[in-house]
Chains A and B, each alone.
Chain A
Amino acid sequence: MTFEMKNQHTTKRGVDRRSFLRGSAATAIGLAAFPAIMSGTAHAAYTGTLDMLAWDFQPDMINNLVSAWTAEGNPAVDVAVIPNLGYSPAIQTRLRGGAEIDLYYNFAYNSQKFIDEGWALKLNDLPGVDELIGDMFESARARHVNAAGDVISVPYFSAVHTLHYNAQFLTDAGIDKVPSTLADIYDASLKLREAGIVEAPYVAFWVKEFCEEYLHTYLLNEGIEAFDEAGKPIFGDDPRTVGVFEWWQNMYREGLAPASVLTDDPGKLSNEMAQGNAALYVLHHYFLTSIRSLEGPQSANVQLAPIGGENATLQIGEVIQLGQIEDEERRLAAWELAKYYGWKDQAGKFTVFEKWADAAGLAAPYPGFFTDPDVVAAFPDYYDLPGLSQIFETGSKVVPARTMPWYPDFQARVGDIVHALLLGQATPQQTVDALTAAANTAQGGPSL
């Protein structure tokens, strides 16, 4: 059974067909699912302890959220937290070694691979899954539903790549329009430097592991699709692609971005914005929270704006997956926890996402999230929530190829290739060719 994801209309049609089949079977699972469908999640019948693995972003918050779920009469959850850096190798090693984890954080680019390796469960027929997917921004669904219609994950959080800009610095430099396109950003960076306001105005998280996100962000900003529906790399066929890499190389080689961005972490980059050492910062929208909370001399002047002009930006999101759980009650309990953590609680509220929004500005890929009064109250007032919601709805794309099983191989190579470009060791055209070759090679079997 698959999930139709072409549009809202077909989504509803898929649900109806499934409802019909379920109704005729009149199974106990269907009955158990009823309250879940009506109000988000249900109490789990399982009485044992669930195992959950997460990375170390605010571990106390994770424990509090899970404890709150248990306190509502649900099973206890044993939460293990490991560092974000190296999480992917760590979880793969554990699963390969036979670790049984009921529910775990995962990077979206690993999700289909984990399904294919038998480490993660397809969620197709679990109670309330259609409603969860149907509740989601259409733009976000391809991250959680694969091309075959299988539901492979639920959201842990979601974000869009946006421009954090110092409004005061732009005014001081005589820039009256917030830069949006790559060309705008280049021009604004030059003006900011020539005006003597900031020597290297643009910062971004260009470490090796993260270059792949920027690859898609910058291509989408110029209206370029990197891959077709089958995962074939097509960015090399677009004559504008070389221009994107020329821009990228120029930003670095001309010193409009500081040399240190190849190794700087986001915390340092946020601090550069807060201290006024940088004026433009492209990364996930929620870094506005970290810049503001640093309370540097320029923190209050930093604001958020969409990028890409008429085109889109990259929408990212990390995910929650369920392990291969044989026991049905346990599986359903883990699923209830996944729904609570990645969608709504029993009262139909975005409780978990509200807490993340309050703590770190993280978003959920649901339209209802942005209009929920509690969420609106939880978000710091410097966020333009309708604007952010609009970016999720129509101004961003998720790049479906990013969840294909070969994608982690490609993802691991992008950093080396882009760094060679930035260091002047490769031309933009060579970079396009190398990335195309890397994508093809990744789909062709083992390779270095």
Chain B
Amino acid sequence: MSSSFSNGSLARADAWFGMKMSAVAAIMMAVLLIIPSALTIIYSLHNVPANGSSFGEFVGFRNYEIIFTSNVFWRSVWVTVVFSVGFVVLSTLFGLAMALLLNQEFLGRGLARGLLIIPWATPWLVIGILWKWYADGSVGGLNALLVGLGITGEYQNFLSDPNSALLLAITAAVWRQASFAGILLLAGLQTLPGELYEAAELDGANWWQRLNNVTIPWLRPVLVTVTVLNIIYAFLQFDVIFAMTQGGPGDATQVLSILIYRQLFVVTQIGLGSALAVVLGLAALIGGLVTVKVLYRGKAAN
């Protein structure tokens, strides 16, 4: 009896201690995440005045109805999906390739690993501006490179063409995010015991088999993290695209985040913009959860 009383007191004391320790983080989470998210959902159900003096008229799901019946929204969804798929796949693959390369022994590896950090350490907006200059149709370095290599005969205005503008926006974003993926995956590779490779080699596994049966399974937790983060970054990407094209030409690069920016901050339709933000947030959440599910299902099958 006495012992169980003591255990109960201890458990309560532990719980109380835990709550006290996590209180600051919980308050910060509430202030920075939960309250804004709840407000966004509430705004999305109202016709909020631009000056924010009140929630405004309650309109139920009217804002969602406007969104889902709008061609502008569906066009933006399509652009977002194309951008996101390109961004996630390419940045993960290039990141993996860089990590594999930088995990090898070669002269200057330390310098190369240091350089890997530069794109990741550069702000998204700066990357957008840099790539806008780089892709310029009159003086851009990209054109000089392509003409020099004989790939194109003359300078092209890539950012004025809907397809190449989207492709370049993806490329610019991938350039940064691949380095982030590379850093995480390289860290994962460095924990991989060398014995596993040696055993695989003794079993006669070639490079591809070692990659597929040793490296990738070992990196799976990191790959899941990288992929989920990439999906979130993809859906929320704004800076690079806005700096390069502002969503243009036309609506060729108008991803949902740019559409949200326009509705919330340019034309200040707070309710409609909030409804768009809720939709985008849910899409990113579902995308991330599905990815985790798929990747871990693969692990369970293995």
Instruction: Give me the interface of A with B, judged by CB distance under 8 Å.
Output: 88-89, 92-93, 95-97, 113, 117-119, 207-209, 258-263, 268, 408-409, 412, 415-416, 419-420, 422-423, 425, 445-448
Q: Which residues of A contact B150 (CB under 8 A)?
A: none
Shortest Cβ distance from residue B266 to the other chain A in the assembled complex, whole angstroms = 5
Query: A117, B159: Cβ atoms under 8 Å?
Result: no
Complex A-B, nearest 6 residue pairs according to Cβ-Cβ distance, in ascending order: A89-B265, A419-B250, A259-B157, A117-B51, A260-B157, A448-B70
**Of A113, A118, A416, which contacts B53 at CB under 8 A?**
A118
Q: Report if A260-B160 is in contact (Cβ < 8 Å); known contacts: A412-B262, A446-B66, A448-B272.
A: yes
Q: Which residues of B contact A268 (CB under 8 A)?
A: 138
Q: Which residues of A contact B198 (CB under 8 A)?
A: none
Q: Which residues of B contact A207 (CB under 8 A)?
A: 246, 248
Query: B265, A92: Cβ atoms under 8 Å?
Result: yes
**Of A92, A262, A412, which contacts B160 at CB under 8 A?**
A262
Query: A259, B272: Cβ atoms under 8 Å?
Result: no
Shortest Cβ distance from residue A447 to the other chain B in the assembled complex, whole angstroms = 6
Q: Which residues of B contact A408 (CB under 8 A)?
A: 266-268
* A423, B157: Cα distance in complex, Å: 13
Query: A208, B246: Cβ atoms under 8 Å?
Result: yes
The size of the chain B interface, using a CB distance under 8 A, is 38
* A89, B270: Cα distance in complex, Å: 12
Q: Which residues of B contact A448 (CB under 8 A)?
A: 66-67, 70, 72-73, 259, 263, 272
Indicate whether B285 reaches chain A with its CB closer than 8 angstroms.
no
Q: Which residues of B contact A209 (CB under 8 A)?
A: 246
Indicate whether B85 reaches chain A with its CB closer than 8 angstroms.
no
**Of B161, B261, B272, which contacts A446 at CB under 8 A?**
B272
Query: B137, A88: Cβ atoms under 8 Å?
Result: no
Shortest Cβ distance from residue B244 to the other chain A in the assembled complex, whole angstroms = 8
Q: Report if A263-B160 is in contact (Cβ < 8 Å); known contacts: A89-B265, A408-B266.
A: yes
Query: A416, B137: Cβ atoms under 8 Å?
Result: no
Nearest-CB residue, chain A, relative to B156: A259
Q: Which residues of A contact B254 (CB under 8 A)?
A: 416
16 contacts between A and B (CB under 8 A): A96-B50, A96-B52, A97-B52, A117-B50, A118-B51, A208-B246, A208-B249, A209-B246, A259-B137, A260-B137, A260-B160, A416-B248, A423-B250, A446-B47, A448-B67, A448-B72
Query: A113, B250: Cβ atoms under 8 Å?
Result: no
Q: Which residues of B contact A447 (CB under 8 A)?
A: 66, 70, 272
Q: Which residues of A contact B66 (CB under 8 A)?
A: 446-448
Secondary structure of the A contact surface, majority rule: helix
Shortest Cβ distance from residue B222 to the other chain A in the assembled complex, whole angstroms = 37
Shortest Cβ distance from residue A423 to the other chain B in the assembled complex, whole angstroms = 6
Q: Quick one: which of B228-277 are within 8 Å of A by CB?
A: 245-251, 254, 259, 261-263, 265-269, 271-272
Q: Which residues of B contact A260 (CB under 8 A)?
A: 137-138, 157, 159-160
Query: A262, B248: Cβ atoms under 8 Å?
Result: yes
Q: Report if A423-B162 is in contact (Cβ < 8 Å); known contacts: A95-B51, A446-B63.
A: yes
Q: Interface readout for B48-76 with A: 1 if CB under 8 Å, 0 if not?
A: 01111100000000010011001011000
Q: Report if A416-B50 is in contact (Cβ < 8 Å); known contacts: A259-B157, A408-B266, A446-B63.
A: no
Q: Which residues of A contact B137 (CB under 8 A)?
A: 258-260
Q: Which residues of B contact A92 (CB under 8 A)?
A: 50, 265, 268
Query: B47, A445: Cβ atoms under 8 Å?
Result: yes
Q: Interface readout for B95-132 with A: 1 if CB under 8 Å, 0 if not?
A: 00000000000000000000000000000000000000
Q: A259-B137, A412-B262, A448-B70 are in contact. List 5 more A-B contacts (CB 8 A).
A: A89-B266, A96-B52, A118-B51, A447-B70, A447-B272
Q: Which residues of A contact B246 (CB under 8 A)?
A: 207-209
**Of A96, A113, A419, A446, which contacts B249 at CB under 8 A?**
A419
**Of A95, A118, A258, A416, which contacts B250 at CB under 8 A?**
A416
Q: Which residues of A contact B268 (CB under 8 A)?
A: 92, 96, 408
Query: B271, A446: Cβ atoms under 8 Å?
Result: yes
Q: Which residues of B contact A415 (CB under 8 A)?
A: 248, 250
Q: Interface readout for B33-51 with A: 1 if CB under 8 Å, 0 if not?
A: 0000000000000010111
The interface centre, meaning the residue of A88, A118, A258, A446 with most chain B CB atoms within 10 A of its CB, is A446
Query: A88, B266: Cβ atoms under 8 Å?
Result: yes
* A425, B247: Cα distance in complex, Å: 16
Shortest Cβ distance from residue B299 to the other chain A in the assembled complex, whole angstroms = 41
Q: Which residues of B contact A208 (CB under 8 A)?
A: 246-250
Q: Quick one: which of B147-168 are within 8 Å of A by CB?
A: 157, 159-162
Q: Which residues of A contact B162 (CB under 8 A)?
A: 423
The interface centre, meaning the residue of A409, A447, A448 with most chain B CB atoms within 10 A of its CB, is A448
* A448, B271: Cα distance in complex, Å: 12
* A419, B245: Cα distance in complex, Å: 13
Nearest-CB residue, chain B, relative to A408: B267
Nearest-CB residue, chain B, relative to A258: B157
Q: Which residues of A contact B72 (CB under 8 A)?
A: 416, 448
